[in-house]
Structure 1
Amino acid sequence: MKILMVDVDGVLVHGRPDDGMPFATDLERDLGLRLDVWQREFFKPFWPDIVTGREPIEPRLTAVLREIAPHLEAERLLRYWFENDSRLDRKLIEDLARFRAAGVALYLATNQEHRRAAYLMEELGLRRYFDGIFYSAQFGHRKPAQDFFRLATEKAGAPPEDIVFLDDTLENVEAARMFGWQAVHWTAGMALKTAIAPFAAAAVTKEFR
């Protein structure tokens, strides 16, 4: 294993910073926007193009809010979303750092649009812990598309068999395996050392002794 790819939501990030609840738990109370309406009018019709970089999020979100929540500005909603979907798994970050110290390159491999990808790296500070981010809007393809894994492999500069991948979505894990990555279906309570033990060299796993 030379490279460890890590998904974001459901693996590294788990909801609101204070309690881990979904970021939209109090959306209607706080911003006067019903989640089901937002999902129906924005995410269902427009998200596929936004998350694959075919269009930016701001103009489309502004237009939708003008119809469903004219009191609410797009920038305020984006800030609320990003800040309330930012609880980091600190134990996992600590464990990942030990692998990085042992010479393993760490990358995020995630379905994100441009704005949140930048927020994760810069404002949430994940650039301190990872060597980079590979995301769907950057590539024009989202997991589980094989083109996502192909482009991430090319950018990483390593053979597929040298890449280990953690993702909480089984469909993504199976697609990664199909491409040749060593993929782990990440579940709650899983320990990093145990999860990747079959793929990690002894020189790396000894960091956990």
Structure 2
Amino acid sequence: MSEVIEGLEAVRAVVWDFDGVLNRAGRPDAQGIFPWQALVGRELGIDAAAMGKAVFGRDKAALFTGKDDVMDRLADWAESTGVELAPEDVLELWFETDHDPDPELERIVEMLAQGGIVQAIFTNNETRRARWIAQDAGWAERVDAFFASGETGLMKPNPAAFEAVEKALDMAPFEILFIDDTAANIAAAEKRGWLGWDYEPNGARALVAAMMPLLLRAQG
């Protein structure tokens, strides 16, 4: 990645990934169990690994494009295994535990908003968590648009997902800067003509340096 992103002078919108960028999502352990799943296991006395495999280990596309409901999958797993479980309790622990916004990036979001730069969140998330992030966690109020695969039915890196964002924002590809932590998503965005930044963990300082011309414009 270059020190400064080329082409920022034409950028009118910044599109953010959520988990792994704006949100410091937990990473799985050696057994593939995420911190929120481990907490759910401890709090509710269930097998977190089995639950995770049953709910998320199959046909993720159906779950993350809104075809399947995570609540139904949790209920089906509980019934099939004889576990007494309220799916709502799992979701509450999951959503709240897995919400850890990066304060440095929050400041960048605020700075860009004050400067009139359009901002959007573009995330692969199932429907219920997407709504929680947008509404309960208040992110829909902090950005101009919120695009979640569970709502749109389109997942990154599908080119159609990027095209839908362009149309909704009414902007040309070269007017959009996309910040994501998945290389395939960045590659798909850049193939359409977006500017892209492959975000790395704790990479706020590097991002600030790379987008400084845009931040200065927002302050001016």
| Fold similarity call, TM over 0.5 | yes
Q: Is the 8 A contact 1:37 1:68 kept in 2?
A: no
- The correspondence for 1:35, drawn from 48, 69, 76, is 48
Q: State the secondary structure of the residue aligned to 1:109.
A: strand
SS where residue 14 of structure 1 aligns? coil
What is the alpha-carbon distance in structure 2 between the residues aligned to residue 179 and residue 65 of structure 1?
43
Does the Cα contact within 8 Å between 1:8 and 1:109 map onto a contact in 2? yes
TM-score, normalised by the number of residues in structure 1: 0.88
Aligned to 2:110: 97
Q: Are residues 1:7 and 2:17 paired?
A: yes
Q: Mapping of 1:141-180 within 5 angstroms?
A: 141-180=154-193
- Would you say the 8 A contact 1:93–1:129 is kept in 2? no
Tell me the amino acid that sits aligned with residue 142 of structure 2. Y
Q: TM-score normalized by structure 2?
A: 0.83
Aligned partners of 2:55 and 2:70 also within 8 Å: no
**Unmatched runs of 5 consecutive residues or more in structure 1:** none
**TM superposition shift of 1:46:** 4.1
**Is the Cα contact below 8 Å between 1:134 and 1:152 reproduced in 2?**
yes
1:82 pairs with one of 60, 84, 95:
95
Alpha-carbon distance between aligned partners in 2 of 1:12 and 1:68, rounded to the nearest angstrom: 36
Distance 1:69 1:169 in 2: 37
Distance 2:152 2:141 in 1: 23
Mapping 1:40-119, distance limit 5 Å: 40-68=53-81, 70-119=83-132
Q: State the shift of 1:66 in Å.
A: 1.6
Q: For the aligned residues, what is the CA RMSD? A: 2.0
Which consecutive aligned stretches of 4+ in structure 1 deviate over 3 angstroms post-superposition?
none
1: CA distance, partners of 2:19 / 2:217: 29
